[in-house]
Amino acid sequence: MTSRQLWIREYAWATGIIGLTTGLALALRPYLQITDVAMLLLLAVVFVAYRHRRGPAVTASLLSIAVFDFLFVPPYYTFNVHNAAFYLTFAVMLGVALSMSQLTGRIREQAEEASEREHQARTLYAMSQELADTARAQDQVAIVTKHISNVAPGQARILLDDEEGKSRFSRWPEDPVFESVAVRVAATWAYERGESAGLGTGHCAEAEALVVPLRSPTHVSGVVLVQPSDPDAGLTQPARRLIEALADQAAIFFERASLSERHQEARAEIQSEQLRTALLSSLSHDLRTPLGSIEGAASSLLQGSGLLSAESRRELAETILEESRRMTRLIANLLDMVRVESGALTVQKEWQPLEEALGVALLRVEDRLADHPVDARLPATLPLVPIDELLIEQVFINLLENVIRHTASGTPIRISAWAAADAVVVEVADQGCGIPPGEAETIFRKFQRSSSADRIGPAGGSGLGLTICRGIITAHGGRIWLEPTDGRGAAFRFTLPLDGSAPREVPAEALES
């Protein structure tokens, strides 16, 4: 409803109420004293003054004086008044109307202000709530845009500095909102001065949009632009105040997000620096040891060919073989790690029985598993899982190698799997000395070896196996963790989500006769 319609309505109401009261007074005329009629009309005036603003109240009061004078004060049906005392009645009626409307007007203003403030607080709270739940800058911009366009019907846009903190305003977005020169001038003004500009403000008021700067304590990080769908009607004062409040709030969130992003980048940089250092030291140690053995064994074989017994020759050759296998594994791990780290890990999922990947893994570590009885029974009812067999096989291998490395020989290993709601859960558990509490997470970190690892023989792990596992499982959309065990042993569990479209059912067949 426009303000003009509202205005007409209020006056119509005022007139209507006085008319109604007059009708009532006329109908009851035989029973009423003239003072009663005055009281009745006064009541109507008070009612109008209470409900409406001063204009309608005064109108109602003048109307009721006229009606009273014309219909009820003798001589009837003229505006002449014989008894001068009635002038006092008229004055009282006018005075009551004026003071009532003054009073109710003030109350109404206060109520309106309070409800505006409440609305503002509620909107601000709703927006901060949503902003606090999102981390991505893109989503945050969308949330702020949504809330601001809720305030006033029309279009809202947000322009932010680019990553280098430079203003974007040298290149305007391709958006009809920014086509107007006045809007561009207002936006630039608001950005540079940190004050609102454009529609309804003191600067560049001819612009079709209001531009509010995104002010954080340290700088202006961009502008919010609101173009009402009806630029002639403009924006109400409360709407403008609310938009400014929202913009201030949003600016703080944007600044916080960009700071935390920068902080994270810096941390990632430090981490990758640490990784390189750790990689170098690990490489120099882990690669040099087997290389040393290989070189030594090979040179012994070459030089002492005549002196060595068949048995020592064989031993030396075995050393070479064993150590080169160790190096092969280490290098494969490092390459996997680089793939996981660089995000180059591509998962080629195919629906298949988990059994197969496990079978390959068990064969691959077979000779080293000789000392560990493995109990691996997957239920025949286990559903097919969408996995990249080569990668999941690697997960099994790494978990098994982990057990081989960190438990005494003879320690049994149990591998089990079961179907959960929308995933298959796999567990690789051993009966070893377990992992100290508090290391459940750290063991998944790069180059992290369990503090208990040193207790059993030469560990020789690269400290990468579990990190690779986590990378692979995460790439499959699953989770891997150390399941708390009460007492002995360690149990690693991971989930393989059954997502994507399930494969066509394999038709069942009868046995050949």
Partner 1 sequence: MRRFLGATLRAHGYQVVEAASAREGLAQASGRNPDVILLDLGLPDLDGLEVAREIRRTARTPIIVISARGQEQDKVAALDLGADDYLTKPFGVPELLARMRVAIRHSALPPGSLPAPIFQSGELRVDLIRRKVFRDGQETRLTPTEYKLLAALVRQAGRVMTHRQLLQEVWGSNYQEQGHYLRVYMAQLRRKLEMDPTRPRLFITEPGVGYRLREGESSV
Q: Which positions touch partner 1 (CB under 8 A)? A: 324-325, 328, 332, 335, 350-353, 355-360, 362-363, 366, 376-378, 380, 384, 389-390, 393, 503-504, 506, 509-512
- Minimum CB separation from partner 1 for residue 427, in Å? 14
Pick from 119, 29, 114, 101: nearest CA to 67: 29
Nearer to partner 1, 245 or 360 (CB): 360
Nearer to partner 1, 18 or 385 (CB): 385
- Minimum CB separation from partner 1 for residue 350, in Å? 5
How many other CB atoms are found less than 10 A from the CB of residue 297?
20
- Residue 372's SS3 state is coil
- Minimum CB separation from partner 1 for residue 378, in Å? 7
Nearer to partner 1, 6 or 511 (CB): 511
* Summary count for the chain: helices (H), strands (E): 12, 11
- Minimum CB separation from partner 1 for residue 359, in Å? 5
- Minimum CB separation from partner 1 for residue 480, in Å? 20
- Minimum CB separation from partner 1 for residue 186, in Å? 58
Whether 250 and 144 have beta carbons less than 8 Å apart is answered as yes
- Minimum CB separation from partner 1 for residue 400, in Å? 12
Rg over alpha carbons for the chain, rounded to the nearest Å, is 42
Nearer to partner 1, 214 or 417 (CB): 417
Nearer to partner 1, 85 or 510 (CB): 510
Query: Which amino acid does the sequence have at 430?
Result: D
Q: Enumerate the β-bridge partners of residue 55.
A: none
Nearer to partner 1, 93 or 468 (CB): 468
- Minimum CB separation from partner 1 for residue 418, in Å? 15
- Residue 66's SS3 state is helix
CA distance 101 to 96: 8
Nearer to partner 1, 164 or 367 (CB): 367
- Minimum CB separation from partner 1 for residue 351, in Å? 4
- Minimum CB separation from partner 1 for residue 373, in Å? 12
Q: Where are the beta strands (DSSP E) in 229-371?
A: 350-352
Query: Which amino acid does the sequence have at 243?
Result: I
CA distance 333 to 427: 22
Nearer to partner 1, 263 or 377 (CB): 377
Omega before 75 within 30 of 0, i.e. cis = yes
- Minimum CB separation from partner 1 for residue 506, in Å? 5
- Minimum CB separation from partner 1 for residue 138, in Å? 35
Nearer to partner 1, 352 or 452 (CB): 352
Whether 130 and 198 have beta carbons less than 8 Å apart is answered as no
Q: Which strand (E) or helix (H) includes residue 223?
A: strand 220-228
Nearer to partner 1, 35 or 305 (CB): 305
Q: Which strand (E) or helix (H) includes residue 211?
A: strand 210-215
Pick from 350, 445, 341: nearest CA to 390: 350
CA distance 507 to 477: 29
Nearer to partner 1, 106 or 325 (CB): 325
Nearer to partner 1, 218 or 381 (CB): 381
Whether 468 and 364 have beta carbons less than 8 Å apart is answered as no
| Spatial CB neighbours of 183, under 8 Å, sequence gap ≥ 6 | 177, 198, 207, 208, 209, 211, 225, 227
- Minimum CB separation from partner 1 for residue 330, in Å? 13
| Spatial CB neighbours of 133, under 8 Å, sequence gap ≥ 6 | none
Whether 155 and 221 have beta carbons less than 8 Å apart is answered as no
Q: Look-up: residue for tokens 């201030």?
A: 248
Nearer to partner 1, 89 or 333 (CB): 333
End-to-end CA distance of the chain: 85
CA distance 255 to 259: 6
Identify the DSSP state of 178.
G
Q: Look-up: residue for tokens 């607080």?
A: 121
CA distance 59 to 106: 19
Cα dihedral 343, 345, 351, 357, rounded to 10, equals -130
